[in-house]
Structure 1
């Protein structure tokens, strides 16, 4: 008899073969399976799913609970075709409330302060790597995992082109960069190769140990840079994250388009492709993610209507 754990492992393997990464999804699903094993439950039931979803001692956030339950619900629909006794948690059990946290949009002064703060990191090459990383994220909008995942062959310094492979949605794309960005990347590469003439990794950005820069370790250093730069969260806001550099890039791009009088709606698909969004809705969200952008969009609409309410 196949156990729920075996079914879960086979399900995750199948979806990963289709190109899904399922990092967080997989962790949550296997946590649920371990919960079933610990409690001695051998059939997936709605009662067990709800108990696990709300078993979060450090959080009473209903949005968090609903997202945990959604993982079980998705798996349960698959499992029911194999194990008819499986119960699929109904949609109205911990209904999903969509909530997107308002990002921190870095000002030009904050970005300058952040880049300057990297200079205090030790040793000197660590400072150089962080300066390059933050600059790259700020001017390209790459995800941190994408920047860390760049190989040397992915960075075309002759044509100013980055190739981002196997992204969040299993796709690859090319990202053109400005000549000034290419010059900064070339300078970093020279310093890197001087320090590591015999590379131990094909990665473009490396740690002081000569290994690929680990995206999972970056959040440990970034708060130190924020403190040094004097960048704090606004009232009622969470602390800025590295990922907010991506939000800042997208919002700034849209603001510049409005300032130039461009047809923003026509250009949005270009930004969608550049950012590697799977769904244009993710790009459209930026129109409401900034009060300034929202005001500009409203003004453009009012003008197109001839001032009519």
Structure 2
């Protein structure tokens, strides 16, 4: 198994040199190697990959497909050296495309989430989650980007944040509203009073001084959703923390319609601010808002703001 682990290290290094991050795939592939070691088989077969991928039994086909795709990439790499290694075919456990409908939070719901965070177990957790939720709501940052922020990325004097090594390896600078800058300054003043603050590089830290973990944020956010009394609108429209990003995008473009601004120019700026590769990606964030569609229709009917 040491040879297989060594091959995995080389595979991950090669893929990462091409720009892939593979954090979740790395964890899954090490789990697959442990599973394969427990079998004691001489070489990896399609059946081994399929048996491992279809775990646990009580989840959907898409998760099985994701697990199998991780093994497929690794076995392709192994097969180039050892033809006895079998590669699962691409049509085995095909991915069924499904995108959840974004839950567009109202201002009142965001405030309810921040208020619910006031019930968390320690003063640091309270201020950390209240600040994190507020920052995600007013910047549309990805959760992973907020987790990766370091103290040095916040420029209090100029009111900016540097988002480093985000999706597709991009880095961008976000200008902040003065109220957001003040919020982060208050958070840092509170954070820096903790016993671990001096050793922590991360902007947002846990009570033990470590960088926040995505899984813990997700668990805490679902708890806050329940405390805030926010319920799913439909079976396909459930409140997620990522939907704060959708809500920010929709509010930004609605503001442009309401104040008569150039919406195409605002969309281009929004796409850059969100860190999208191009404005076409941003359209998905805007497609679920009926109010936005109404405003767009009104602009088409009365292009110069005339009334009927």
Question: What is the TM-score of this pair, normalised by structure 2?
Answer: 0.83
Report if the CA contact (8 A) 1:4-1:42 is conserved. no
Q: Which residue of 2 aligns with 1:137?
A: 136
Deviation, structure 1 residue 303: 7.9
Secondary structure of the residue aligned to 1:203 is coil
Written as runs of structure 1 = structure 2, the 5 A alignment for 1:259-298 is 259-278=258-277, 281-294=280-293
Q: Do residues 248 (structure 1) and 230 (structure 2) align?
A: no
Q: Which residue of 2 aligns with 1:87?
A: 86
Instruction: Write the distance in 1 (CA, Å) between the matches of 2:220 and 2:297.
Output: 39
Deviates more, 1:80-89 or 1:125-134: 80-89
Instruction: Write the distance in 2 (CA, Å) between the matches of 1:74 and 1:297.
Output: 43
Report if the CA contact (8 A) 1:29-1:71 is conserved. yes
Deviation, structure 1 residue 136: 0.7
Deviation, structure 1 residue 263: 5.0
Instruction: Write the distance in 2 (CA, Å) between the matches of 1:83 and 1:266.
Output: 54
Instruction: Write the distance in 2 (CA, Å) between the matches of 1:174 and 1:132.
Output: 19
Q: Deviations over 1:248-277 (max 9, x none)?
A: 212322333344455545544433332223
- Paired residues in the alignment total 303
Written as runs of structure 1 = structure 2, the 5 A alignment for 1:2-81 is 3-59=3-59, 61-81=60-80
Deviation, structure 1 residue 154: 0.7
Instruction: Write the distance in 1 (CA, Å) between the matches of 2:283 and 2:186.
Output: 36
Q: Do residues 216 (structure 1) and 206 (structure 2) align?
A: no
Which runs of no fewer than 5 residues in structure 2 stay unpaired?
304-308
Report if the CA contact (8 A) 1:36-1:42 is conserved. no
Which runs of no fewer than 5 residues in structure 1 stay unpaired?
305-309
Deviation, structure 1 residue 131: 1.5
Instruction: Write the distance in 1 (CA, Å) between the matches of 2:125 and 2:55.
Output: 40
Q: Deviations over 1:258-298 (max 9, x none)?
A: 44455545544433332223565542321334344455556
Instruction: Write the distance in 2 (CA, Å) between the matches of 1:210 and 1:8.
Output: 31
Deviates more, 1:228-237 or 1:210-219: 210-219
Secondary structure of the residue aligned to 1:285 is helix
Secondary structure of the residue aligned to 1:11 is helix
Instruction: Write the distance in 2 (CA, Å) between the matches of 1:197 and 1:68.
Output: 37
Q: 1:46 to 1:161 in 2, by over 3 A?
A: same
Deviation, structure 1 residue 178: 0.8
Q: Deviations over 1:191-234 (max 9, x none)?
A: 33345697221232233344444443223322332232211222
Question: What is the TM-score of this pair, normalised by structure 1?
Answer: 0.83
Deviation, structure 1 residue 186: 1.6
Deviation, structure 1 residue 163: 0.7
